[in-house]
Structure 1
Amino acid sequence: MNIEDILSPINAPVVPIYYTGNEKTYVTYLEYNQQGAAFADDKEKQTAFSYQINIYAPYKADDLVNQVKGLLINAGLTRTFEAEEYSEQTNLYQKVIRFSYSTENEG
């Protein structure tokens, strides 16, 4: 699963973990959990992945948030959590959205 490829249609930088550029609106992401989701015959048959997407903007970027959610859901991820914050230090809104998906393992 390549988050940057999935989110390539949005009009903002998308980078893993930490953004060092100059744009005021940007998206970061990280994989915060990976675990076995189904087991049989002492083997992991399914793996679950959890991602956190962080959307930063100097305004409440509802259109961008909805676009990001739509792209990830259309790619097969499931939204599991959503919250928003505002940082007075950076003067940026942050939307935190968590998604998960599972893959079947061969063997």
Structure 2
Amino acid sequence: MYYTYDQNNSGGSFTIDGSVCEVVIIEADTAEQANAKAETIGIYFDGVDKGIDCPCCGDSWVRNYGKGTDEPEVYGKSVYEVKKGLFRNQAHIYRLDGSKEVVNIRDN
């Protein structure tokens, strides 16, 4: 299953580096495994409580609790079909086999 993490621009900025960007998708057997993998690549949870994120804007990252999706998705659409937005230019996909794919979101 695939678990999608959409980064909230808490405080008006995103963390974008070699590991994370606006959208991170992790393939895992369970949401708990995906959340654990997320933390190893630089995603953090409870940022407001930890004083990292803006309390007005909310947490940058939120844990997954659902069952995931069969394919990598963003807001119910294939990551390969979703359109670029103001805050959505790339997605990083981490697969169970250890590989990573960087998807440049399409313009149209």
Instruction: Give TM class, smaller chain.
Output: under 0.3
Kindly indicate which of the two structures has a greater share of residues assigned to strand: 1
| TM-score between both structures, scaled by the size of structure 2 | 0.27
Bigger radius of gyration among the two: 1
**Structure showing greater relative contact order (alpha-carbon pairs closer than 8 Å, 6 or more residues apart):** 2
| TM-score between both structures, scaled by the size of structure 1 | 0.27
